[in-house]
A and B are shown apart, each in its own frame.
Chain A
Amino acid sequence: MATEAQSEGGLVFHPLDQFIVKPLFSDGAVHWYTPTNVTLWMAVGLLCIIGVFVVGSRGRAIVPTRMQSIGELIYGFIYKMVEDVTGKDGIKYFPYIMTLFVFILFANYLALLPMSYSPTSMIAVTAVLGFGVFIAVTILGFVKNGPAFLGLFWMKDAPAVLRPVIAIIEVISYFVRPVSHSIRLAGNIMAGHAVIKVFAGFAALTLVSPVAILGITAIYGLEVLVAGIQAYVFTILTCVYLKDALHPAH
């Protein structure tokens, strides 16, 4: 985009062009099955995950290789998170949470490569993740606890007068969960990438280009943090929601 701006001789910002979905092999319309840049970068993420977790651990070494110890580190980190937040009976959902975490983590970090595409910046993607967690957890809550799951909204230790009010607030906050859950991730990733593009647009001006390039560097550093933190936040919130489903009593 910087080159575009220069050729047109002025400041032209297209910070959102990087999120355009394009078919990989044709110029045609994007159907639901068309392999697109989204497909490509999700596939790259999948290959990286296989590389770290399957190829990296193929030696099954007691003394791990570098790749294997990265895999073990992530495994141990998420396993401990699930165990600490949801308790022992949440362990059987560990593969699902691990799937979510590694997908978001790898998508976030791959998105930081120049010219790459960031699936987790798309609301459609994170909404599927967020609402998927929401629906799964709600169904699980009713299956495990029956109507007692509604006790999640009924504060037994609150004063009797306040209970209906609190229940209304709790219900609203419960249904807002998937929205905030998905918009938090998409918003963070999208905003970071768009800001970098805006700085890149300013880099076309000779006078401010050093500042702009420093700005890109700084935001990039911030994005490296955000990529990890957002994956962590999404996962730990999933664990918290899962805990509510398994143990609805406050």
Chain B
Amino acid sequence: MATDKHDAVAGACVDAGGGALGMPQLCADWIPNQIFWLVVTLAAIYFVMSRIALPRIGAVLAERSGTITNDIAAAEELKNKAAEAEAAYDKALADARAEAQKIVAAAKADIQAGLDVELQKADAQIAVKTAESEAAIAEIRDGAVKSVTQVAKDTAKELVTALGGKSDAKTITAAVTARMKG
């Protein structure tokens, strides 16, 4: 703010060289000018502020806080929806599990029942077969004993005859039978 000497206004407050005489703040010549322009400026600022700037900024801030409130409410709603969906999902999953377990149990019971029936059938068949086999074995054994007796009698008869004895069929049979029993 160097004062340009050629530009200076000599007067009560400025010396010939353009320097300040005393405090420029206290120069009475300049005070009305400052007050006038201050009032003009303040009026202009007040006009701009109260008519244009402040309502606009106030509206923007209100709108923003409204938007934020709405967004938070919407987010809350979506969160609730998500929680509901999760609950529904969990419930469906649990239901499906229960259903599956039920089906598994039913299938097991079915299989078990079928198995029991088959087992019983098989057991009965086995019993029948066993009985048949036992009968067959007994028959064979009986047949074998009879054959052995017959062969023993015949052989004894032949032996007695070959040795020169008179074979009395009845005696020999009785002897052989007695021997066989012993």
Q: Tell me, yes or no, whether B107 is within 8 Å of chain A by CB.
A: no
In Å, the complex CA distance between A120 and B134 comes to 133
Q: Which of the residues A18, A32, A115, A117 comes within 8 Å of B32, measured between beta carbons?
A: A32
Q: State the main secondary structure of chain A at its contact with B.
A: helix
How many A residues touch B, CB cutoff 8 Å? 63
Q: A17-B2, A17-B19, A123-B25 are in contact. Are A29 and B11 (CB under 8 A)?
A: yes
The smallest beta-carbon distance between A141 and chain B, in angstroms, is: 21
Contact between B38 and A119 (Cβ–Cβ < 8 Å)? Answer: yes
B26 within 8 A of A: yes
- A103 to B34 alpha-carbon distance, docked (Å): 14
Contact of B50 among A22, A29, A95 (CB under 8 A): A95
Q: Contacts A20-B3, A43-B41, A123-B26; is A27 near B9 (CB within 8 Å)? A: yes
Q: Do A76 and B61 touch across chains, with their CB atoms under 8 A apart?
A: yes
Q: Complex formed: what's the CA distance from A128 to B36 in Å?
A: 10
Q: From B66, which residue of chain A is reached at the shortest CB distance?
A: A62
Q: List the one stretch of A45-53, A161-169, A172-180, A235-243 in contact with chain B.
A: A45-53
Chain A residues 73 to 100 lying within 8 A of chain B, measured CB to CB, are 75-76, 94-96, 98-100
| Chain B interface helix/strand/loop/mixed | helix
A2's nearest neighbour on chain B, judged by CB, is: B2
Q: Which residues of A contact B23 (CB under 8 A)?
A: 16, 19
Query: Does the CB pair B34–A119 fall under 8 Å?
Result: yes
For window 1-38 of A, CB contacts with B under 8 Å fall at 1, 3-4, 14, 16-23, 27-36, 38
Cβ-defined contact, A21 with B60, below 8 A? no
B87 within 8 A of A: no
Of B8, B9, B26, B59, the contact of A29 (CB 8 Å cutoff): B9
Interface membership of A110, Cβ < 8 A: no
Contact A62 B67 (CB under 8 A): yes
From A1, A18, A33, A53, give the contact of B49 (CB < 8 A). A53
Q: Identify the closest chain A residue to B9 (Cβ).
A: A27
Asked if B145 lies at the interface with its beta carbon under 8 angstroms from chain A, I say no
Chain B hits for A3, CB < 8 A: 2
A71 to B13, CA, bound (A): 40
1/0 contact string of B128-139 vs chain A (CB within 8 Å):
000000000000
B78 at the interface (CB under 8 A from A): no
Chain A residues in 8 Å Cβ range of B39: 128
A42 to B35 CA separation, bound complex (whole angstroms): 11
Contacts of B34 in A (CB 8 A): 21, 38, 119, 122, 124-125
List of B residues within 8 angstroms of A42 by Cβ: 37-38, 40-41
Q: Beyond the given A19-B20, A76-B61, please list 17 additional residue pairs across the A-B interface where CB-CB is below 8 A.
A: A14-B19, A17-B24, A18-B1, A27-B9, A29-B29, A32-B32, A43-B41, A49-B49, A61-B60, A75-B54, A75-B57, A95-B46, A102-B45, A122-B25, A122-B34, A124-B34, A125-B35
Interfacial residues, chain B to chain A (CB-CB below 8 A): 1-3, 7-9, 11, 13-14, 18-20, 23-27, 29-42, 44-46, 48-50, 52-54, 56-61, 63-64, 67
15 A–B contact pairs at CB < 8 A?
Answer: A20-B8, A22-B7, A33-B36, A38-B38, A39-B33, A57-B53, A60-B59, A76-B61, A95-B49, A95-B54, A115-B1, A123-B25, A124-B31, A125-B34, A128-B38
Q: Which 6 A-B residue pairs are closest in the complex by CB-CB distance?
A: A18-B1, A53-B53, A32-B32, A19-B24, A95-B50, A21-B30
